[in-house]
Amino acid sequence: MPSDWRIFSGDGGMRLQRLWRRWLIAYWAQAAGFISVLVAVLVCSFIWAISYPPLPSGGPVVEHNQPEASTERQESNASQRGTEQNPFAIKILPPAKGTPEAERNEKESHEKAANERGVAIATWGLIYATLALFAAAIVQICLFYWQLRLIGRTVKDGAKAANAALENAEAAKKQADAIIKSERPYVFLKNTNPGVHWTPDGQLEFADRRMKFRLINCGKTPALLHEFMEKYVVLEGTVDPPAPLDPLKDRGRLLPDNQVSAPGLPQKWATNLSTKLDGFEKMLATDAWKIRRMIFQGFIRYSDPFDIHHIMGFLFVFVPQGNVWVPFGDEKYNYSRIERPEDIPPHPGYPKQDKKQS
Q: Distance (Å, rounded) from C-alpha 172 to C-alpha 11?
A: 22
Side chain identity, residue 185: P
What residues have CB less than 8 Å from 122, skipping those under 6 apart? 46, 47, 50, 51
Q: Is 0.85 surpassed by the pTM of this model?
A: no
What residues have CB less than 8 Å from 246, skipping those under 6 apart? none
Contact 347, 341 (CB under 8 A): no
Contact 200, 222 (CB under 8 A): no
With CA atoms as reference, report the closest residue to 304 among 221, 199, 217: 221
Q: Are strands 277-278 and 223-236 parallel, antiparallel or unpaired?
A: parallel
Q: Distance (Å, rounded) from C-alpha 268 to C-alpha 216?
A: 9
Q: List, run by run, the mean pLDDT of 10-residue segments along the chain (358 residues).
A: 46 66 63 69 65 50 46 57 61 68 78 81 84 86 84 85 91 90 92 83 74 92 94 88 93 89 91 87 84 93 94 93 89 94 87 46
Q: Distance (Å, rounded) from C-alpha 314 to C-alpha 299?
A: 6
- The phi and psi torsions of 67 (rounded to 5 degrees) equal -65, 145
First to last CA, the chain: 64
Q: Distance (Å, rounded) from C-alpha 284 to C-alpha 313?
A: 29
CB atoms under 10 Å from CB of 311, counted, come to 19
What pLDDT is stored for residue 298 in this prediction? Answer: 96
Q: Which residues pair with 164 in a beta bridge?
A: none
Question: Taking the CA atoms of the chain, what radius of gyration do you get in angstroms?
Answer: 55
The sign of the dihedral angle between the CA atoms of 24, 30, 32, 34 is negative
